[in-house]
Amino acid sequence: MSIEGLGIAYNATATSETTATKATEEELGKEEFLTLLVAQLKNQDPLNPLDATDFTAQLAQFSSLEQLIEINNNIGDMQEGLTTQENANILDYIGKTIKANDTTITVDDGVTGSIVYTLDDSLDVNIHIYNAEGIEVRTINAGQQDPGEHSLVWDGLNNNGTEVQNGTYIFDIRALSENGQIIPCESYFAGKVTGISYKGGMPFLMIGTRAINPQSVLEVKENRG
């Protein structure tokens, strides 16, 4: 008898077994399968008993189902463990300074993070800062600088010396050679992580009101002093 036959036999059982029948309509689990098998044996035709081959095949199906359920439970436990570990690792960022692969900077009541950039040669550096509409609000001439990593904290003022509004701004590093040629350089955003925020179930590192995706973090440093 096939699996479909189990359903037919079970429908002939007492009303007390209707709960298991409802469950099979949604998903045939281990307990429901075993209940159906017992019901089939109780209601089989004495003149036409269940074929031994069919019975063995159904027992094999039950064994396979039990193994699949166990595997699924183990995978669920592993995923839960990984999520717990990930959340624990995320909390380790709090209080530390990170460098992220990001060229935006947030102003919160005059407080900003650091603009970080790396030069391969000795170059003249200009930093251009734009608002969300793409309008330049500040140009900072950092002057001639040696090769290596450099850091600058924007004071949150525009070219007129007025404090800009809170929000997110974009910075662009323009490093010029002696003949005025623009030389590409790597630039980053850096700041101290003050907390963790979850959006859509995903954790983000908070630097003030700024949310940073942990996947964009390139470097983490302990704060001293």
Residues of the chain with CATH 2.60.40.4070: 97-221
The domain 97-221 having CATH identifier 3.30.420.40: the answer here is no
Structure confidence by residue, pLDDT tens digits, 91-137: 888 899 998 888 888 888 888 888 999 999 999 999 999 998 999 99
Q: What share of the chain is helix, strand, coil (3-state, %, to 5)?
A: 35, 35, 30
Identify the pLDDT of residue 56: 58
Using DSSP bridges, classify how beta strands 202-207 and 182-183 pair: parallel, antiparallel or unpaired: unpaired
SS (H, E, C) 163-190: ECCCEEEEEEEEEECCCCCEECCEEEEE
Half-sphere exposure (CA, 13 Å, Cβ side) for 210?
27
Q: Which two tokens stand for residue 211?
A: 């949310």
Identify the pLDDT of residue 23: 43
Identify the pLDDT of residue 211: 85
Mean pLDDT of 18-37: 55
Cα 110 → chain centroid: 30
Mean pLDDT of 41-46: 61
Structure confidence by residue, pLDDT tens digits, 165-210: 999 899 999 999 988 898 888 888 888 898 988 888 888 998 877 8
